[in-house]
Amino acid sequence: MVTIKVKAEQPTMETTDPKTGAKVKLEKVFITPQLAEQHGLSKDEYSLLLKNLGRKPNLVELGMFAAMWSEHCSYKSTRVWLKTLPTTAPWVIQGPGENAGVIDIGDGQAAVFKIESHNKPSWIEPFNGSATGVGGILRDVFTMGARPIANLNALRFGDPKHPRTKTVIEGVVAGIGSYGNCVGIPTVGGEVNFHPAYNGNPMVNAMTVGIADSDKIFYAKAAGVGNPVVYVGAKTGRDGIHGATMSSAGFNDDWEKKRPTVQVGDPFMEKLLLEACLELMATDAVVAIQDMGAAGLTSSSVEMASRGDMGIELILDNVPCREPGMTAYEMMLSESQERMLIILKPGREDLARKIFEKWDLDFAVIGKLTDTKQIILKHHGQVVAEIPTGAIADSAPMYERDWVVATRRPEIAINDLPAADPAEALRKIMTCPDMASKRWIYEQYDSMVMANTVFGPGQADAAVVRIEGTAKALAMTTDCSPRYCLAHPFIGGAQAVAESYRNLCAVGAKPLAWTNNLNFGNPERREVMGQIVGAIGGLRNAGEALNYPVVSGNVSLYNETEAKAILPTPVIGGVGVLADASKAMSSHFKKSGDSIVLLGKTAGWMGCTLYLREVFGREEGSPPPVDLLAEKKYGEFVRNLILDGKINACHDVSDGGIAAALVEMGWLPRGKILGCSVTAPKDIALNAWLFGEDQGRYIITTSNVDAVIYAAAQSGIVATVIGQTGGEGLAVNGQDIASLPQLREANDNWLPQYMNG
């Protein structure tokens, strides 16, 4: 039995402001288990808090513990499983645990990248929710010393028929576009899906990729007793208080009352902060630096002190505030945007101050590092919080929650389905919300700013951005098939990693590493926890088999409304490198008369396909199996073909199968069209061949088919010549099944008509 000595509540009800001499009233709050529960702490967690602290907390301390121990900040339901993921490789400089992951891309350069969610804020306040999601992920990257070169996003919206879907799309897209465009970072790729499971809880995952010198990476590890703690950036307001705890709980019908928990961003301030931080980092003044993201000043100060095994003392009177009378509780929990916490070397304060004042940003020395291993906060001459660093940072609960294994659904065979006209089936697939053109969305994003974008949205299987001053380029992509993950989380998780690997290979890039955004429902429900465990297992297997580690990520749980969970959505953000940007391969046909070659085996897998869903209204079956060894073998083969200049176009076969891939390849840039004629094999049902979603396949075009087939035979690759480019339609076995201009018009028009409807 543990005996806890409980100190009395702080008796002081009034003090004197040391700056002004004015009397300041202190609110006395009686801390109860019920109040702790209102802060998101369970009874057991509150008991653990009391044990760690050795007494009752005051209100400030309670708020800090609640924020740091929230699911959003502590990953208490997933840490035990995340530790199983592959995170190392010779090119990994920094894996999970810092603001962003870092990989070596040669020539003394590093790529720095991460993906994060802003899901719930984007339902409550779509514009600000998505905009601040972009701002937060940008800061995670440039706080490592990297200059951001590209943004991507992965968006999931509810049923188009839901009364709020259109409003959410409009606000989210405007927020992403406004923030990225104003900061001047191109938005070069992403994905957009629709499903009723996201009604009331859309997914807004934002990714940023940056470039830094590999020997000039900055970390958030405090060091040096007495070193000054500096606050820079925007002033602190009352927006975003309890943002972290709000994001760690499900929604009910009271979601509108949570608007104050959504932050408000200022992209112009972000641009100033970016330039000021990079200028300061070019000096020798910085010891450690941390973005004030979720949980604001609490998380940034606690995490830096914890990583350095230090104590930290803050004078909250020095915190720049934009609203009068802010309390210590409000200052520590505010999630106001565009702020950083920096540990400077002694004597560098004036140098740093001049830089931030030049950029018209607030600069304030608000504390110092200590050897006490205590978090001590002072306000109006009073100690308002005193917490052992380890008690709050290193002792957060970690759960091994009960879970149930997701059973694999029975497979669906083409013979179990009624006959369907292939032309009508193709039309339904290519005009459904998931497959419809997203031009209305991405044209609101500036994809060409900085003038280094080789392939932006809609041009290739992955975005490609040239690294300025070099011949190299980075390829990047976001991928996930939630319907596969729902049917079988393990297979779905492995497929998401394999899909990102495949998309990078399809443009000629060598896949190096990935970041993940694990979006799930309530982990306290055994079936949801089973989805999490299964998906992470799939991610692990794929990462290990492909020699493709994870270096950063984010977990977003409790994504549900009225106890209805989203589809399991483990988004993968993959990054690869091309030694020669001029060799990057797009997905579009290039000229008439090229041979079309299908790489990979086709069995006609029907389970979980868009064909099954869009033509027959059935979300059934088992997802297509993923052969990870074949994925690696075929990916390397495709990359070599591209680098050797043997092919003219490359597109992976995914949603909608071979037919959808051929149509997309025939939709050339600037509205041009180039069709094709293909011959289907006789040993498989036509619609199974056209629309099956067997994994690990690519369609390539070539002017030298004999060389490609010979190379495939030498490498043990299944390569089948299926047709030739030409015309303006898609002909199969001599029969036209689509007019590409007409189909493109219908595909282009769905989203604009919906948004204008």
Equal fold, 86-393 vs 585-757: yes
Which whole number is the average pLDDT over 383-398? 94
Task: Record the tokens describing residue 411, joined without a space.
Answer: 């497979």
pLDDT of amino acid 252: 63
- Of the ranges 18-22, 338-342, 575-579, 685-689, which one carries the lowest mean pLDDT score? 18-22
Residue closest to 4 by CA, chosen among 47, 36, 33: 47
pLDDT of amino acid 408: 83
Residue closest to 298 by CA, chosen among 36, 56, 62: 62
Residue 21 has pLDDT above 80, yes or no: no
Rounded to whole angstroms, the maximal C-alpha distance in the chain is 91
How is domain 585-757 classified at the architecture level of CATH? Alpha-Beta Complex (3.90)
Query: For the chain, what percent of residues have pLDDT higher than 70?
Result: 94
Residue 737 has pLDDT above 70, yes or no: yes
- Of the ranges 40-54, 300-314, 399-413, 518-532, which one carries the lowest mean pLDDT score? 399-413
pLDDT of amino acid 745: 98
On whether the CB atoms of residues 133 and 240 are closer than 8 A, the answer is no
Which whole number is the average pLDDT over 247-252? 57
pLDDT of amino acid 12: 40
Beta carbons within 8 Å of 94's beta carbon, 6+ residues apart: 100, 101, 102, 144, 217, 219, 551
- 3-class SS string, 524-587: CCHHHHHHHHHHHHHHHHHHHHCCCCEEEEEEECCCEECCEECCCEEEEEEEEEECCHHHCCCC
The domain covering 86-393 belongs, at the CATH homologous superfamily level, to: PurM-like C-terminal domain (3.90.650.10)
pLDDT of amino acid 645: 97
Which whole number is the average pLDDT over 736-746? 98
**pLDDT band at residue 262, thresholds of 50, 70 and 90?**
confident
Computed from CA positions of residues 18, 24, 30, 35, in that sequence, does the dihedral angle turn out positive or negative?
Answer: negative
User: What whole-number distance in Å separates Cα of residue 540 and Cα of residue 83?
Assistant: 10
Beta carbons within 8 Å of 446's beta carbon, 6+ residues apart: 177, 180, 181, 186, 187
Which whole number is the average pLDDT over 586-609? 98
- Residue ranges of the domains in the chain? 86-393, 585-757
Which whole number is the average pLDDT over 487-507? 98
Residue 25 has pLDDT above 90, yes or no: no
**pLDDT band at residue 445, thresholds of 50, 70 and 90?**
very high
Residue closest to 696 by CA, chosen among 622, 623, 610, 628: 628
On the 0-12 / 13-18 / 19+ scale of CB atoms within 10 A, 727 is middle
Residue 9 has pLDDT above 50, yes or no: no
**pLDDT band at residue 258, thresholds of 50, 70 and 90?**
low
Q: What is the pTM of this model?
A: 0.94
Computed from CA positions of residues 137, 142, 144, 146, in that sequence, does the dihedral angle turn out positive or negative?
Answer: positive
Residue closest to 364 by CA, chosen among 306, 315, 331: 315
pLDDT of amino acid 371: 97
In which residue are the tokens 């112009």 written? Answer: 268
* 91-116 pLDDT per residue, tens: 999 999 999 999 999 999 999 999 99
User: What whole-number distance in Å separates Cα of residue 506 and Cα of residue 510?
Assistant: 10
User: What whole-number distance in Å separates Cα of residue 465 and Cα of residue 150?
Assistant: 8
Identify the active-site residue in 118, 242, 379, 488: 118
Identify the active-site residue in 72, 195, 242, 588: 72
Residue 500 has pLDDT above 70, yes or no: yes
588 is catalytic: no
pLDDT of amino acid 251: 57
Residue 257 has pLDDT above 80, yes or no: no
Helix (H/G/I), strand (E/B), else coil: 110: strand
* Angle ∠(153,157,159) on CA atoms, nearest 5: 160
On whether the CB atoms of residues 111 and 515 are closer than 8 A, the answer is no
Query: For the chain, what percent of residues have pLDDT higher than 90?
Result: 90
10 Å Cβ neighbour count for 752?
Answer: 13
Helix axes 349-358, 267-281, angle to 10 degrees: 150
Helix (H) or strand (E) holding 212: strand 203-213
